[in-house]
C-alpha cells in the first residue's frame, strides 16, 4: 500500500499507535432518533390507537401523498398479488421461485421442537414450542423496496406455522413494486395493506377496525419506523432495530482483487451509510485491491453512492497476521463476514460474533443476500454480540411444562417451602406445603 | 356462587353480555413510563455514559442514601459471597443447592446445538451457536430481593457458556441480603456491584472505568430500571420489560378449594398489582373456593397485600365448559397457567399461549417458582403471545454459515444475478457473476 492517503477509501494499520481510536471512530454509529422524531412518532401512534383506520388514512394521505377516503383503497387483494407474480418475465419468476424454495429448505432445518423428560418419581418437565398466531411484516417502499426481503421475512414465519401473515408496504405517490407483490404471493402472505411509517407500525401493534393486531412486527424501515417499533415493543414483539448494512472481508491474499473489490462494492451500493471493510495481513494484496477499486469504480451503476459510502465508512485494514484478523472479527462483530481464505473451516471455531459467515473465495455475500438459503436479515452495528439472524425461532415461542407426580410434588414442596420462607413469601410456602405428604 | 358482589374478589361470568368489556378491563395494564420518568432516566444514562464511575457513585449516594467515595466500596468480593453462603443455616443452604442443581439439569436440556448440512454439489449450509461473552444480571434490592431470581437468571447464562457474569444489586441504606449473595456464589456470578436503578443499567450497557460493558442485561426492576432497559436496547440485548406477575388457574371442580385459594394467594402476595384469576365451569366449586379465600385470608402474613391485589385485579370466572376455558387461556396468554384438572395432557395441545404450564392438582406454581427446574422468569401481561421463558437460548446467538463449492456458487450466482438486477443492485449482481463458470 502506498503511504499517501487515498481519497477513495481509508487505509488503517493495526501497527499504528492510533489504531484503536481510528477503529472506534470508523465503527461509530448512533442510530438514535432525536426528540422531534420521537414526538412525531408518539403523536402518530396515539392517533392510530385512538382513531384507528381514520388516523391511518390521514397519515398515509399526508406522508405518501395520496388521496384515499376508505381503508379498502389501501388493501391489495390476493388476486392482485398473483397477477403481479404472473406478470413477471419468466427469468425473474423462476429465479424468485428458486430462491424461495432454497430459503424454505434451509429454514425447515431451523425448527425447534417440543421436548419432555420424565424423572424417576414420575414428574415430567419439558418445553412446548408453538407458533405465533399472527405476524406483521414491514416492507419499505420507494427506492429500497426489495422482493428478497419479503421472502426472507415471510418464509421463516410460514415455516414456523404462523396462522396469519399481514404485510404492510407504503406506496409513496402510488408507486407499486410488482416484484415485491410477486414475492408476497410466493411467500404466502395473507393480507397486504399499502401503508407505511409509524402509522403502519401503530396499526399492526394496536389493531384498527380493518388492520388486525399482530403479535410480532418484523422488517426494516426508516428512522420513523425504527422509533415506532421501539415504542410498541412490549405491546408486540419486534425483531430488531437495524442499523446500516456492513461487511467485513478477511482475505489471505490469494483471492482475485477484482472479486474482493466487487464484494465491497456490493455492500457499499446499499446506501451512503453502508460499511465495507477489508482486512488482510498481505500489504501488497491490499494495494492490489485498492487498485482494483479505483479501476472498477467508474464502471458501477451506483458509483456515486459507493464512492460516498467507501469514503465515509469504508476501510482497508492491514493487520499483522491471521490471529490479529480474528481479534478484529470478534471486536467488530460484523453483520456479514467473508472469510476469503484457503481454509475457512480452520478459522470458523475462532469466530465468536458474526451475523452470517461466508466461507471461502466462492461464497460472495450476494449469494447469501438472495438465494443460498440462510436469512439475509442479520444483526448490524456490532449487535451480533448478542443477536441472531432472523429465523423460524423468531416466529415461535416456548411454554415451560411442569407436571409433578404426587411424590415429586411432596419432595419439591419441602425445598420450595424453605426457600419461600427465606423470601418471606409464606403463601408460596403454604401452597407448596399442602402438597407435602404427611 | 352468590349473586351479591363480593368485596374480596370480583366474580365474572362468560354468560354476561358485558363479559368481554369486563375481561378487557381486568387485564388492562399500562406499564408505560411517563415523560418525567423518561427524562430522569435519560439524564442518568447520559451522565453515566459521559462520566462513568463518578456518575454511578453520585447517583447511588443520592438514590440509595449512601456516602461512598470510591467505586470499590460498591463491589462485593468472591470471598464475601462465599461467606454469605457459608453463613446460611444448613436447611437454607441445602434447599438453595438442591434448587440450583435442578435448575441446572433442566436448562442443560435446552442448549441449542450448531448444525450443518451438505448439498449435492458440495455446498455447506448451517448455523453456529455461540455464547455471549458477558452478561449482566439485574437483581432488585430492598423488599423484592429474591435469591431464587439470582439462580433463575444466572444459571441459564452459565449453562450457555457465557464467559463472564456481572451482577448488580442495589443496597438501599446499605441493606445487604445474605441469601441473595449466597445465591450469587452458588450460581457462579463473577463480579457483583451494589448499584441499582438506571445508573446500574447505564453502567452495564456502556461500561465504566470499573464496570465492564456487557452484551445483554437480564432481570426485573422497577419503572426506572424498565425505562432504562428500553432505552439501551440495541446498544445491548435485554430480556424483556416485565409487568406485574399473574396466574390463571383452571379447575375442573375436583381440586381442594383450600389448595386453590392458597395458589391464588401465592400470586397475589407478590404485590398489589399482581393478578390471580380462577376459571371453572363448576359454579358450586367457585363458591367453595370463594369461601376458602374468605376463611384463609385472615391467616396470611401478607394479608393486606393479598386483599389489595385480589380486590383490584383478581377474579373468579365462571365459564360454560372446558372449551370456553381454553378460549380464555389463549385470550389471556397468562404468565403462569395452572391446569388443575384430571387429565391436563388432554388440554395441553390446545394451549397456544402461556409462559409456564403447571399440570395437574399437585403442581403448585410455587414449586416452579423455586425448584422444579424450569425458569421462573416468564412473559407477563399477555406477552406469552410472542415471548418465551428466560432460557439458555437468551444467552446464546447464532451465526449463519454458507460455504459454496465452486459449482454451487456458479449455480447460485445465476439466480442471484437475476434477482439483484431486478432490485437494481448491479454490484451485487456482478459480485455473483464473477463466480459463474464460463
- Residue A423 is assigned to a ligand binding site: yes
Helix axes A178-187, A78-87, angle to 10 degrees: 110
pLDDT for A6 equals: 53
Bridge partners, A129 (sequence order): A398
Q: Which of A318, A336, A353, A376 is catalytic?
A: A336
CB-CB under 8 Å, A125 with B106:
yes
Residues B292/B260, Cβ–Cβ less than 8 Å? yes
pLDDT for A242 equals: 79
* Res A32 pLDDT > 70: no
The CA distance from B200 to B36, in Å, is 19
CB-CB under 8 Å, A109 with B432:
no
pLDDT for B35 equals: 79
Locate the chain B residue with the closest alpha carbon to A435. Answer: B362
Give the start-end residues of each E strand in A223-370.
Answer: 237-238, 246-251, 275-280, 315-318, 336-340, 356-359
Minimum distance, in Å, between the CA of residue B15 and any CA atom of chain A: 25
Alpha carbon A388 to its chain centroid, in Å, reads 8
Topology of the domain covering B10-29+243-372: Rossmann fold (3.40.50)
pLDDT for B308 equals: 96
Bridge partners, A138 (sequence order): A168
Q: For the purposes of burial, counting CB atoms within 10 Å of the CB of A294, is it exposed (0-12), middle (13-18) or buried (19 or more)?
A: middle
Burial A110-129 (b: 16+ CB within 10 A, else e): bbbeeeeeebeeebbbbbbb
The CA distance from B176 to B167, in Å, is 14
CB-CB under 8 Å, B234 with A240:
yes
CB-CB under 8 Å, B399 with A269:
no
Minimum distance, in Å, between the CA of residue B36 and any CA atom of chain A: 14
Residue B93 DSSP SS3: helix
Judging contacts by C-beta atoms under 8 Å, the chain A residues touching residue B416 are 364, 366-367, 369-371
pLDDT for B32 equals: 62
Minimum distance, in Å, between the CA of residue A69 and any CA atom of chain B: 30
Residue A422 DSSP SS3: helix
Q: Check if B336 is active-site.
A: yes
pLDDT for B243 equals: 84
pLDDT for B144 equals: 64
Locate the chain B residue with the closest alpha carbon to A395. Answer: B386
Locate the chain B residue with the closest alpha carbon to A434. Answer: B259
CB-CB under 8 Å, A367 with B432:
yes
Q: Residue A7: which pLDDT band, with cuts at 50, 70 and 90?
A: confident
Pairing of strands B124-131, B396-403: antiparallel
Residues 6+ apart with CB under 8 A from A212: A134, A164, A166, A191
**DSSP assignment, residue B225?**
H
Q: Locate B322 and state its grid cell.
A: 372446558
**DSSP assignment, residue A6?**
P
Measuring CA to CA, how many Å separate B364 from each of A122, A425, B264, B290, B375? 16, 14, 10, 18, 15
Judging contacts by C-beta atoms under 8 Å, the chain A residues touching residue B130 are 351-353
Break chain A down into helix, strand, coil percent, rounded to 5.
Answer: 50, 15, 35
> For residue range B164-206, what is the model confidence (pLDDT) as tens digits?
999 999 999 998 889 999 999 999 999 999 999 999 999 999 9
The CA distance from A137 to A299, in Å, is 35
Judging contacts by C-beta atoms under 8 Å, the chain B residues touching residue A412 are 367, 370-372
Adjacency order of strands within the sheet including B191-193: B75-76, B191-193, B164-168, B134-138, B216-218, B237-238
Residues A204/A210, Cβ–Cβ less than 8 Å? no
A-B CB pairs within 8 A amount to: 380
Q: Which of B398, B426, B435, B436 to mutate to test the interface with A (most CBs of A within 10 A)?
A: B398
* Res A411 pLDDT > 70: yes
Topology of the domain covering A35-238: Rossmann fold (3.40.50)
- What is the rounded radius of gyration, in angstroms, for the C-alpha atoms of chain B? 26
The CA distance from B300 to B401, in Å, is 56
Q: Locate B69 and state its grid cell.
A: 467515595
- Residue B336 is assigned to a ligand binding site: yes
Minimum distance, in Å, between the CA of residue A232 and any CA atom of chain B: 10
- Residue B138 is assigned to a ligand binding site: yes
Nearest to B339, CA basis, from A406, A408, A403:
A403
What is the number of other CB atoms lying within 10 angstroms of the CB of residue B227?
25
Nearest to B275, CA basis, from B335, B328, B219:
B335
**DSSP assignment, residue A125?**
E
Residues B248/B277, Cβ–Cβ less than 8 Å? yes
Separate counts of helices (H) and strands (E) for chain A: 17, 15
Judging contacts by C-beta atoms under 8 Å, the chain B residues touching residue A99 are 415, 419
Name the residue facing B386 among A91, A215, A359 (closest C-beta): A215
Please write down the HEC assignment for all residues of B168-189: ECCCHHHCCCHHHHHHHHHHCC
* Res A1 pLDDT > 50: no
Locate the chain B residue with the closest alpha carbon to A420. Answer: B370
Locate the chain A residue with the closest alpha carbon to B335. Answer: A399
Name the residue facing B302 among A345, A391, A427 (closest C-beta): A427
CB-CB under 8 Å, B401 with A374:
yes
List Cβ<8 Å contacts ≥24 apart for B241-244: B241/A233, B241/A234, B241/B31, B242/B377, B242/B380, B243/B29, B243/B31, B243/B273, B243/B380, B243/B381, B243/B383, B244/B29, B244/B270, B244/B271, B244/B273, B244/B274, B244/B275, B244/B313, B244/B380, B244/B381
Q: Which residues in chain B land under pLDDT 70?
A: 1-6, 31-33, 143-144
> For residue range A357-378, what is the model confidence (pLDDT) as tens digits?
999 999 999 999 999 999 999 9
The CA distance from A215 to A221, in Å, is 18
The DSSP annotation for A88-109 comes to S-HHHHHHHHHHHHHHHHHHHT
Nearest to B414, CA basis, from B433, B438, B431:
B433
Residue B88 DSSP SS3: coil
Q: Which helix (H) or strand (E) holds B46?
A: helix B35-51
**Same-fold call for B10-29+243-372 versus B35-238:** yes
Average pLDDT over residues A196-205: 97
Q: Locate B340 and state its grid cell.
A: 388443575
Minimum distance, in Å, between the CA of residue B278 and any CA atom of chain A: 15
CB-CB under 8 Å, A373 with B125:
yes
Q: Which of A118, A329, A366, A380 to mutate to test the interface with B (most CBs of B within 10 A)?
A: A366
Minimum distance, in Å, between the CA of residue B44 and any CA atom of chain A: 17
Q: Which of A246, A288, A290, A335 is catalytic?
A: A335
Locate the chain A residue with the closest alpha carbon to B334. Answer: A399
pLDDT for B1 equals: 44
pLDDT for B2 equals: 45
| Phi, psi torsion values for B315, nearest 5 degrees | -165, 145
Q: What is the largest CA-CA distance in chain B?
A: 86
Listed by start position, the domains of chain A span 10-29+243-372, 35-238, 404-433
Residues A159/A193, Cβ–Cβ less than 8 Å? no
Give the residue carrying C-alpha cell 451512503.
A272
> For residue range B317-335, what is the model confidence (pLDDT) as tens digits?
999 999 999 999 999 999 9
Q: Which helix (H) or strand (E) holds B75?
A: strand B75-76
Residues B208/B53, Cβ–Cβ less than 8 Å? yes
Residues A336/A248, Cβ–Cβ less than 8 Å? yes
Q: Check if B335 is active-site.
A: yes
Amino acid at each position: 500500500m502506498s503511504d499517501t492517503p487515498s481519497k477513495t477509501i481509508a487505509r488503517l494499520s493495526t501497527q499504528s499507535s492510533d489504531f484503536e481510536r481510528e477503529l472506534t471512530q470508523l465503527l461509530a454509529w448512533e442510530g438514535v432518533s432525536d426528540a422531534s422524531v420521537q414526538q412525531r412518532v408518539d403523536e402518530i401512534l396515539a392517533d392510530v390507537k385512538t382513531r384507528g383506520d381514520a388516523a391511518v388514512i390521514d397519515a398515509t394521505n399526508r406522508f405518501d401523498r395520496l388521496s384515499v377516503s376508505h381503508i379498502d383503497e389501501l388493501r391489495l387483494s390476493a388476486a392482485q398479488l398473483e397477477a403481479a407474480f404472473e406478470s413477471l418475465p419468466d427469468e425473474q419468476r423462476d429465479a424468485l421461485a428458486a430462491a424461495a424454495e432454497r430459503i424454505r429448505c434451509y429454514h425447515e432445518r431451523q425448527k425447534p421442537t417440543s421436548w419432555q423428560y420424565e424423572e424417576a418419581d414420575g414428574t415430567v418437565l419439558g418445553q412446548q414450542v408453538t407458533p405465533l398466531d399472527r405476524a406483521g411484516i414491514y416492507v419499505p417502499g420507494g427506492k429500497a423496496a426489495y422482493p428478497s426481503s419479503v421472502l426472507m421475512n415471510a418464509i421463516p414465519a410460514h415455516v414456523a406455522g404462523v396462522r396469519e401473515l399481514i404485510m404492510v408496504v407504503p406506496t409513496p405517490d402510488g408507486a407499486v413494486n410488482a416484484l415485491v407483490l410477486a414475492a408476497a404471493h410466493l411467500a404466502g402472505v395473507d393480507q397486504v395493506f399499502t401503508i407505511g411509517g409509524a402509522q403502519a407500525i401503530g396499526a399492526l401493534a394496536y389493531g384498527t377496525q380493518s388492520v388486525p393486531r399482530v403479535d410480532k412486527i418484523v422488517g426494516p424501515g426508516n428512522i420513523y419506523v425504527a422509533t415506532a417499533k421501539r415504542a410498541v415493543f412490549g405491546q408486540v414483539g419486534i425483531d430488531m432495530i437495524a442499523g446500516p448494512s456492513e461487511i467485513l472481508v478477511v482475505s489471505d491474499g490469494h483471492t482475485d482483487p477484482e472479486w474482493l473489490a466487487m464484494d465491497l462494492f456490493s455492500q457499499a451500493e446499499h446506501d451512503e451509510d453502508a460499511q465495507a471493510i477489508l482486512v488482510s495481513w498481505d500489504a501488497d494484496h491490499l494495494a492490489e485491491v485498492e487498485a482494483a477499486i479505483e479501476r472498477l469504480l467508474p464502471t458501477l451503476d451506483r458509483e456515486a453512492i459507493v464512492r460516498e459510502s467507501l469514503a465515509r465508512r469504508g476501510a482497508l485494514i492491514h493487520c499483522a497476521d491471521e490471529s490479529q484478523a480474528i481479534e478484529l472479527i470478534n471486536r467488530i462483530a460484523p453483520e456479514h463476514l467473508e472469510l476469503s481464505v484457503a481454509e475457512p473451516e480452520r478459522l470458523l471455531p475462532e469466530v465468536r460474533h458474526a451475523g452470517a459467515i461466508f466461507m471461502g473465495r466462492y461464497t460472495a455475500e450476494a449469494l447469501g443476500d438472495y438465494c443460498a438459503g440462510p436469512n439475509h436479515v442479520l444483526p448490524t452495528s456490532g449487535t451480533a454480540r448478542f443477536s441472531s439472524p432472523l429465523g423460524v425461532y423468531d416466529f415461535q415461542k416456548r411454554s415451560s411444562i411442569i407436571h409433578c407426580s404426587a411424590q415429586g410434588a411432596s419432595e419439591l414442596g419441602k425445598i420450595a417451602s424453605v426457600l419461600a420462607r427465606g423470601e418471606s413469601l409464606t403463601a408460596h410456602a403454604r401452597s407448596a406445603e399442602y402438597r407435602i405428604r404427611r
